[in-house]
Amino acid sequence: MRDRRCLLLSSLSKIRDCIVGLDGDNLIASIKDALKDGVNPYEILNFLRSGMEEVGRLYEKGEYFISELVYAGELMKSAMEVLQPHLKVDQASSKASIVLGSALGDIHDIGKEIVKSLLVSAGFEVHDLGVDVPPKAFVDKAGEVNAEIIGISALLSTTTHAASEVVKLLKKAGLKGKVKVILGGAAVRDWMVKEFGVDAAVEDAVEGVKIIKSWVEGAKT
C-alpha cells in the first residue's frame, strides 16, 4: 500500500512539474497515465492547481513573464479538457444561475475555467463574462439573469480589491442579500471576507464549488 502511494505521489508530482516547467509535451500523457492508474481526478486537479499557483508566484517574482503565464494557462485548459469527463459531482437539485468572471485588471482565466467546469458538471447555469470584468458588469448581468451568486476570480493580489466594488454596487442596486458573492483564486485569503464584504473567499476551486452548492441547497430547505 505504501509503495503504491509513493508511486501515485510521484505521478502527481510529475503532473505538477509539467505545469511549472511549461512542459506541454508530457503534461497530457502524464494525466492520462495517472487516470489509467486509478488516481483520483480531484487529486490530479489539486496538483494542477498547485502548479498554477507556483507559476503565478514565479510571475509575481519576475522570474516568469506574461508569455509564460499565458502559455501555462493554455496548458491548464488542455489538461482540463482531458480531466473534465472524470470530474463527476452530484447534480444540483435544480439549476441555480451564477455569474462568473475574472476581476477587473486580471486577464487570466485559469482558475475561472476550473470552477466553471465543476459548476457546469454539477448542473449549474453559468454566465461567463470572461476576463478583466468591470464590477458594474458583474452586477448588471446578475440583475439581468436573476443570478443567485456572483463568482469573482483573482489570480493576482492586486486585483482582489475589485470584489469590494462589486459588493458596493450590489447594495446600490438593492441586490445585496439576494445575490451572494464568492471571491476565489490563488491570491485570495480568509480576511478578505470582512475586508471586502464578500460572502466567501477561497483558494481552492473544489472548496469553492462546495460552498456554492451549500448556499443553493440551504436556500431550498
Average pLDDT of every residue of the chain: 87
23: amino acid identity, one letter: D
pLDDT value, residue 91: 47
- What spatial distance separates the first Cα and last Cα of the chain, rounded to whole Å? 42
**pLDDT (tens digit, 9 = 90+) per residue, 5-52?**
677 778 899 999 999 999 998 999 999 999 998 899 988 988 887 888
pLDDT value, residue 95: 66
Instruction: Provide Rg for the chain, Cα atoms.
Output: 18
Report residue 84's pLDDT band, with 50, 70 and 90 as the boundaries. Answer: confident
Task: Give the three-state DSSP class for 150.
Answer: strand
**pLDDT (tens digit, 9 = 90+) per residue, 110-138?**
778 878 877 876 778 899 999 999 999 99
**pLDDT (tens digit, 9 = 90+) per residue, 43-75?**
898 888 788 878 877 877 889 887 887 788 788
Whether residue 220 has pLDDT greater than 70: no
Task: Classify domain 97-219 at the CATH class level.
Answer: alpha beta
Average pLDDT over residues 193-199: 96
For a pLDDT cut of 90, what percent of the chain falls above it? 49
Task: Give the three-state DSSP class for 207.
Answer: helix
Domain ranges of the chain: 2-86, 97-219
Q: What is the CATH number of domain 2-86?
A: 1.10.1240.10
